[in-house]
Structure 1
């Protein structure tokens, strides 16, 4: 993040009297920020005070919309001595950050000096009854009144006494009128600072405290004078045993305790014990704030439709609050709140005009808002009633279709409401109102009254009205795409189709673009002359004939292709584009082409319909962006730009990778000498990429200290050598890919026991003749397969003696030398 000056006002260092309240204020200018700034208050290096919010530490945040300044306040209620120290406030917003430090000094409450002069001669409470008598006779003498001297500057006698020599105590006490020497000495003894005794066992002790997020791991380190000494780790006074959660490591004189996947039960006091000496610390486990991973979207509906505001948060089971106009929304008849894992949904069954406004969702780590717009529902006539001509005594049927099934119409005959009877039947089926009328020979006029008025004549017959809203969707060098709406009035015969015609501007020679009527409301006219200004019109066809034409008011110029479509793919997208899970993806791909080409995206050959993948296209480039990448986003994305039959395509291969899972079935397959052979199987989850290697570690069952045997081992097997005789070893293996080591580890299902080598000892006894040998017989011990040399000396003989060596019953042949 870029370090910038975001603070308008910074908190200042202060001195507080014990028991008083103190407030620190910081102001941040957000006029240049894209997002709301995030403020953290910390004590020391790591302790986040947000986890300590309560009666003692309180936080407040306000926002001024006019000046766009956020004001953050931290209040410490009834300051204690433990609140003294260095503090830091840190503000971050996307890629900008700023921080400042300040100090808090806590002073003890100053005791008021007694106004009565007799109180100065009282003994302290620590003095005994035999401390001596006091002489008050001087107080009974008459004193001359003297003019009051100017007040002298107060002197702290105790500061003078602390720095003075013991032989000067009596003189200083006499100069400042202190008569209780015994109480003075006792108070000085309490005030003397005892210098901390240097530890004989620890070179470096534990930190004062450690702070860790829930689910993460933390490590505590100490350094010892003696690298061979044994240590104990205690939690709340209870000894900790090695396990998968608590891992002990020993490297030289450094001892490390690792706590994996911390939870709230790990928030405790810890001790490291070496002999009689101890080192204390405290671990604070804080729950990470719940953030909103999928923001609310604006919703536009009409009256009566269902509304759903949907968001996703980072943790399951999180507390989410919904609000509108500052009022919290609860589950009642109007609102429903659904929770599905990380997904939270606010449902409004039938929207009304009163529901218009801004809706907010809040968590303890973020917020999002979405606007609801509700439009009044207008009644639309989908199929109007048409004029009808029939013969006398024949049956006539009028049919009208509207957009709302709940609307009920009234029929009128020459201004008088028609009542159902034997001759007239009125029915309401869905969106249709149907009437059967046996008629006389006289022509009559009928009308239908809804929220609007429709009329018909029973004596006339005519085709439909003209189509409406004729528009141009696209123009190329030889084609033109048109779009229109159906006629407002459709005759009894309905609409059989549409005929599209064109002519050059200034002429009246209309050319039909299609021979047969088309059913759809869109059509692309082909084979147009390039560079001409053309007019278009559309005619509806039914059994009664052609409707009046719907003609465009302005001409359309058919342009030639000035520049062929071409995609200019950036260099980094020509190979596989690899990103980690959770990262943001923003691909800007320029293209060229005149007139503007049609841009289309596909994923693995299918239309791109994933809502988490956004596409934005301008006249000269297209952007594909993903706020938070997931593995499902991996695949081949195909971009195509097209002008008429000219097309250019480019494939973009995106791979989203993650850390792998642990290996499978780690086994010790063989043990020989000081070596052990290990084998395992690759992990099931490779993180959507290749496994680059494995890291193997060993641990002695006695110490449980883990040491690395191999790193980046490519094969799923290895041999651990240089093991110590007489020890039992267990092993663990991490998987590794381009994202790093796996978060989980696989432990070996069995252990390697390094036994003591060599066979039993055999004993040989050498017998010497007692009269001739200088030495008596002795016993020699040696291991099998080792070389053994036995020597003896003789005296008093003139020639070489004959000798034989007998290992129990087996004869050993003599040699020519003086040894056998």
Structure 2
């Protein structure tokens, strides 16, 4: 590539007599190449290699301490515009919504929005052209917080005289804050005293082994770390306990409710009982939830809005003018469960002279208790006065329980059952219920009495549309034809081929209650023909026919004759093949080949006549 110096070019040529010098301003690595100069008397070349100047760290990284949630910006500057890599604790830094890597000229930045505790660590920036990395530390701090969510109003704690108080206050902060408890400006020390403080990474606890009357008052908790301080005051109230001896008893459960009752306290604490508070919790949880904010005056209550299928426990508190008692023992765990909705679409599937088969759909709503099975009952018409169902069949025969015969109550969830041993010409009513762990659903009645007598349904053959015309298959292919039919009782079926009995060693016939199947594993031409099906029920007969044609490739055409040759043309005639493959000949393909190469090429395809004229031949070949 020729170098053309100019006003805007980085290249200049300096001439001093016979000496010519090429000057490149602002050389970069891209200028590394072989340069040549040519004159009328010869040529001279030289290779130029441009290396980077030694990098210098203009602005190093600095350690930073930042509050939780604030932005962090690590910045460094080096003497050249070169890329580099950021790592945290030895692992590559991954950019995301909170973390952005910025490279602008010689300045490199790592910006972290909304700093989290996990952002703390050692960060290293390594330029691509320098072996000495730039290192700094990020220290994330969080001002201490005191969490008083579990306390009563006005941060009050009530303790029963003579009992042990262990008041655990959750705290947060980074680094973990130091907690100091005090009362009346007197610090409460950690140790083994009756009143003492205990410190943990995420909480601070005030412990009073045996509460006394003089322990009532205000207790202060102070938290402090390098990010700040937090203060809170907690009022301790002492009272004599009401005693609830027995756990509440859950007597009934529904889909999201239960009914519970309990005995009054054996000791009222010297003040009449004003009422009760009730709490519940999930069995696997430790968090109790208050259910009533107005005192319950009775010793019975109905908790609601529970989750079906989840185990719960309940407990109660007694309240008098002095305060609230300790909680009772939790009740035995219980699970709200709902019965299913009734089965749907109860219908008669089939009837014989001694049995009735009923079928139905599963309930629309099953619930957490699942489905254990069904109870099907029947009774005879005339057992007692019966009230017919409404138009929808939802409230059928209103008969006394003793008239209904329990037919099945099993663990099967199959929505079908056959009632056997019934007298012919009797009429029965049928009803069914779904069963699960919560009990039986509402009853689904069949809307009218059922006559126990087999109904003759004339046979009907339903030939599939594709079999209403000749069914064609190639030799060697499988034939698998399914012919549906109807008829009750089960029809008698007879197959014939071309008026004769079918050879079952060659053709398989499979019959069921609703269809018949012709199956041929490997079809042969001999399987072609007319297949006649007769379906008979009692004196009723239905017939249908299917034409099956098994085809093969045709044989070669016969008597190929050259009738005439002139110029570039030849006239041919032939006769159809002796073997048409059991199907009409649809056309011919004519090919030609040069005698020297004997490579065949198609000149006419899909030709329907038995004579043709071939043109464009080569004269002399």
Q: TM-score, normalised by structure 2?
A: 0.33
Higher normalized contact order (CA 8 Å, seq sep 6+, divided by chain length): 2
TM-score of the two chains, using structure 1 as the length reference: 0.26
